């Protein structure tokens, strides 16, 4: 069943108190974790499911790397490096720097504490499906919210550029996102255990302000996900402000897939299942155009520079009228 928009924040909190795991959020590894920080200031963290993209997962130095999963996990544990939005705050890099000195260059700069979690993840995956491994680690970190990888299967993404085919990390890190992007290809995977049921049973699903093409669309491409979203109330926050993404190569990726690089372009991706769309006040001129795609469009500050910004946006997402 679709639920109506909550215009009173206290009413929303009351309904959230009646059940657990009522809010689910689809997340990548940059913009959405900031929103998550705001959301857990408002609701009981136990009432939150975070469904996370896995197409960027890979092996580096023999260890399993799950960038978006780890960023969400470290965010919820309160240890994320907020300067990079990757890795652990105040981490050391002795292993990485030693590897460089002996002639081995890792594509990612991995901190020592961060590496420990990656090593544990790799060994646990010999015995358990990936979703179970993530659940073990989030419990060890004292995280009350559930973190659900979109799939237990190995995902894969290729960036087709004017310089040839590249892995995601080669494009983003080694090439610094500079090549022109011609296409993005990722494999289809099966949903992780209970993923579809979690979406269907959620009172609200939030699509966070992550890269629509490489963070959100891989989740949406999983069989049954779009159908499940049509059965619940879905709110999305645009990651594009004034025709530009706040971070990352979202503009190049959207253009390569034929989408307009704007909040209107983002709305066109989510239009078939989206109930409410939140755009930045800077894009208010696009509101009427977007309302032809999405029935309800809200404008507010979506640039999350401070914790107050994150909490205010979270309240807008969850339904409070500011």
The verdict on residue 146 lying in a domain is yes
Q: Please check the confidence at residue 243 and state whether its pLDDT lies above 50.
A: yes
Assign 2 a pLDDT band (cuts: 50, 70, 90): very low
Mean model confidence pLDDT for the chain: 91
75 and 106 Cβ atoms separated by less than 8 Å: no
Residue 135: how many other CB atoms lie within 10 Å: 17
* The token pair that represents 51 in the structure block: 């469904």
The verdict on residue 48 lying in a domain is yes
The verdict on residue 3 lying in a domain is no
Task: Say what the pLDDT of residue 4 is.
Answer: 42
Task: Say what the pLDDT of residue 276 is.
Answer: 96
Report the 3 state secondary structure along the chain: CCCCCCCCHHHHHHHHHCCCCCEEEEECCCHHHHHHHHHCCCCCHHHEEEEECCCCCEEECCEEECHHHHHHHHHHHCCECCCCCCCECCCCCHHHHHHHHCCCCCCCCCCHHHHHHHHHHHHHCCCCCHHHHHHHHHHHCCCCCEEEECCCCCCCEEEEECCEEEEHHHHHHHCCCCCCEEEEEECCCCCCCCHHHHHHHCCEEEECCCCHHHHHHHHHCCCCHHHHHCCCEEEEECCEECCEECCCCHHHHHHHCCCCCCHHHHHHHHCCCCCEEEEEHHHHHHHHHHCCCCCEEEEECCCCCCHHHHHHHHHHHHCCCC
pLDDT tens-place string over residues 249-292: 899 999 999 999 999 999 999 999 999 999 999 999 999 999 99
Residue scoring higher pLDDT (219 or 322): 219
Task: Say what the pLDDT of residue 11 is.
Answer: 45
The verdict on residue 108 lying in a domain is yes
Domain that holds residue 227: 9-318
Q: Please check the confidence at residue 321 and state whether its pLDDT lies above 80.
A: no
Rounded to an integer, what distance in angstroms lies between the CA atom of residue 235 and that of residue 48?
Answer: 15
Q: How many domains does the chain have?
A: 1
The verdict on residue 1 lying in a domain is no
Tell me the whole-structure pTM to 2 decimals: 0.90
CATH number of domain containing 164: 3.40.50.10680
> Which residues share a beta bridge with 24?
49, 205
Rounded to an integer, what distance in angstroms lies between the CA atom of residue 135 and that of residue 76?
Answer: 13
> Which residues share a beta bridge with 296?
276
Surface-to-core class of residue 1, CB atoms within 10 Å of its CB (0-12 exposed, 13-18 middle, 19+ buried): exposed
Rounded to an integer, what distance in angstroms lies between the CA atom of residue 223 and that of residue 191?
Answer: 7
Residue scoring higher pLDDT (116 or 246): 116
Instruction: Give the alpha-carbon dihedral of 111, 117, 120, 124, to 10 degrees.
Output: -140
The verdict on residue 257 lying in a domain is yes
pLDDT tens-place string over residues 103-141: 999 999 999 999 999 999 999 999 999 999 999 999 999
The verdict on residue 19 lying in a domain is yes
In the chain, what is the straight-line distance between the N-terminal and C-terminal CA atoms, in Å?
26
Residue 314: how many other CB atoms lie within 10 Å: 23
The verdict on residue 115 lying in a domain is yes
């Amino acid at each position: 069943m679709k639920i109506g928009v909550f215009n009173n924040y206290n009413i929303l909190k009351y309904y959230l108190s009646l059940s657990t795991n009522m809010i689910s959020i689809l997340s990548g590894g940059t913009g959405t974790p900031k929103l998550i920080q705001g959301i857990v200031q408002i609701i009981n963290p136990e009432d939150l499911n975070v469904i996370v993209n896995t197409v960027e997962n890979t092996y580096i130095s023999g260890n399993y790397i799950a960038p978006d999963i780890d960023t969400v996990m470290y965010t919820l544990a309160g240890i994320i490096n907020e300067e990079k939005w990757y890795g652990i705050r105040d981490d050391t890099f002795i292993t990485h720097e030693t590897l460089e000195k002996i002639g081995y260059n890792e594509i990612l700069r991995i901190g020592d504490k961060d590496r420990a979690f990656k090593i544990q993840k790799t060994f646990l995956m010999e015995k358990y499906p990936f979703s179970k491994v993530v659940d073990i680690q989030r419990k060890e970190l004292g995280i009350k919210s559930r973190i659900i990888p979109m799939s237990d299967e190995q995902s894969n993404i290729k960036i087709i550029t004017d310089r040839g085919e590249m892995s995601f990390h080669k494009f983003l890190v080694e090439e610094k996102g500079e090549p022109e992007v011609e296409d993005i290809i990722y494999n289809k995977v099966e949903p992780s255990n209970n993923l579809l049921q979690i979406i269907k049973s959620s009172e609200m699903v939030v699509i966070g302000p992550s890269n629509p093409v490489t963070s959100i669309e891989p989740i949406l491409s999983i069989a049954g996900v779009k159908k499940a979203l049509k059965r619940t109330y879905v709110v999305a926050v645009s990651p594009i402000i004034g025709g530009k993404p706040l971070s990352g190569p979202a503009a190049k990726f959207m253009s390569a897939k034929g989408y307009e690089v704007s909040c209107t372009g983002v709305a066109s991706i989510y239009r078939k299942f989206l109930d409410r769309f939140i755009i930045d006040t800077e894009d208010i001129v696009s509101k009427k155009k977007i309302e032809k795609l999405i029935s309800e469009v809200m404008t507010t500050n979506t640039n999350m520079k401070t914790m107050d910004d994150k909490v205010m946006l979270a309240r807008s997402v969850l339904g409070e009228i500011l």
